[in-house]
Amino acid sequence: MSQENASEQGQRLGIVVSGSLTKGVEVKLDGSASVEDMVVGRYVTINGQKQRFFGMITDISLGVIDPKLTLTPPDITDPFMAEVLAGTSTYGELHILPMLTIGGDVTSLIGGPQPVKTVPSHFSRVNLASQQDVELVFGKEDEKRFWIGNPLDMETKICLNLEELVKRSNGIFGKSGTGKTFLTRILLIGMLQKSKAVNLIFDMHNEYGWESSSEGGRTVKALKPLFPSKVAIFTLDEENSRRRGVSTDFVVRIGYDEIEAEDMVLLRQTLNLTEPAVEAVYQLARRFGKDWLQGTLNLKDTEELPEDLNIHESTFQNLRRGLQTIRRLPFVEPHAQTNAVKCILDHLDRGINVVLEFGRYRDITSYILVANMLTRRIYAQYQERMEKAMAVGSAQPIPLVITIEEAHKFLNPEVASRTIFGTIAREMRKYNVTLLVIDQRPSGIDDEVMSQVGTKITCLLDNERDIDSVLAGVSGKSELKSVLAKLESKQQALIFGHAVPMPIVIRTREYGSAESYRAFSISGETETEKQAERDIEELWS
């Protein structure tokens, strides 16, 4: 092979010596390739007799020609002897999982990469994947594809087709401190730039609106400063926003009469309600109508209940204690003066993304109540609009992505089948609404819901149940499990599913510097270029 061709195809690593389609192939490293330079998650190409294969290194091991060497290791204090043994008696071995076939050669590829259906022949040559190989598989950044990161030890840009991504619900997982928030923010920015969807983000910790802090304590910009005309900030806590010195577009208030019986199902666990208490809510709602919550709170005991309601005293008191918790929430009032659902829909219809900040009200009860209540009503509106559009052939509503944190609280096996979030996940994009779920405990999410998550972006997980949950049903699960376990604790993620042709380990792109802000904001919102530049200069001056 000429030096030029070797450069195009990447460094030669070794040859295929054994393997299978289901378990992958074993590659014996050449003596010139150091086993210590190999990294789990890197990409290789295999030149078979008729096809080229694209795959991932999933394991690295050491081998010896003579087993006696492991029992009586030779003296390698002599550098020459060590070099001789390394080239003849000992060797490195790679376990590689071929995932795609990419044609006889790169230039003659027709039809794009295809899922692998066979294995390369014995002694096929194995090379590190070149930049050209990676771009062939994952594409280049364009009006639809968004750069999310780079392969390990390569500067090639890995891009996601965000128009395809938002067609299904997706998930970002990882244990605390692995960078889920930064990764989510990058993905949301990509959606703002490249996709035709709008986002409704339930921002539990005030991290996606104006600014947030990195673990190092540095303040970083969020969505509003980078896309001032494309993002609106809603808040439950106007006082908190004023104290932080940020402006808001709308203050959300929830009226007692806006809370329906269905909204209480998700709150059962957080309010410590019994099953009979939840059933009692439906009875009270049928009896009192929209004012059931106020009516229930006005009652002192079961003696004041209408005779046709068969509710036990202990059940009634259990329910009242839960409703008292809701009544004490500062943003809940007898009658809200403004309609939050209508205002959110008005913004979404104009292509403006909505970030709902929770301010100081970060307890799970507040988060579940508001996210569930608003989502149910917005989804009902989308369902009505889609059915009307299909009936008369009119324009469909803009695709909507709803982002929720602590997703296992909304999608655990006990409640997933009865909540709006479980419905959205199962129906995929039937009514132009999908989810972006963020969680550090994916094992707490219902298995059926997890099976419907189109693309999963997974940072480091160290709990065996969480790893098994994320990888359930994935081809090559055992190999990917070893890759996932070897991720670094920050700025690395495994992406697999609908939006990528094969699993990919990335180093996420940099976020938080003036240069990164400039790349994000100016490319996505040229009409506010001057304002973005002023913001950047102000922050970094």
Mean pLDDT of 143-154: 86
Q: Percent of the chain, pLDDT > 70? A: 88
Beta bridge partners of 45: 54, 127
pLDDT single digits (tens) 358-375? 989 988 999 999 999 999
Contact between 534 and 521 under an 8 Å Cβ cutoff? The reply is: no
Q: How confident is the model at residue 395 (pLDDT cuts 50, 70, 90)?
A: confident
Q: What is the pTM of this model?
A: 0.84
Query: Which has the minimum average pLDDT: 188-202, 252-266, 301-315, 500-514?
Result: 301-315
Q: Which residues of 522-536 are buried (b: 16+ CB within 10 A; e: fewer)?
A: bebbeebeeebeebb
Higher pLDDT: 128 or 103? It is: 128
CA distances from 192 to 189, 200, 229, 371, 528 (A): 5, 12, 11, 21, 14
Mean pLDDT, the chain, integer: 85
Statement: residue 301 has pLDDT above 60: yes
Kindly state the DSSP code that residue 177 receives in the 8-state scheme: T
How do 250-251 and 400-404 pair as beta strands?
Answer: unpaired
**Which residues are CB-contacts of 42 (< 8 A; sequence separation ≥ 6)?**
56, 57, 128, 129, 151, 152, 153
Closest CA relative to residue 189, chosen from 248, 247, 146: 146
**3-state SS class at 28:** strand
- Whether the per-residue pLDDT at 486 is higher than 70: the answer is yes
Query: Does residue 234 carry a pLDDT above 80?
Result: yes
Contact 18, 26 (CB under 8 A): yes
Is a pLDDT exceeding 50 seen at residue 101? yes
CA distances from residue 118 to 25, 52, 173, 268, 475 in whole angstroms, order as listed = 11, 11, 32, 51, 14
What would you report as the CA-atom Rg of the chain, rounded to the nearest whole angstrom? 28
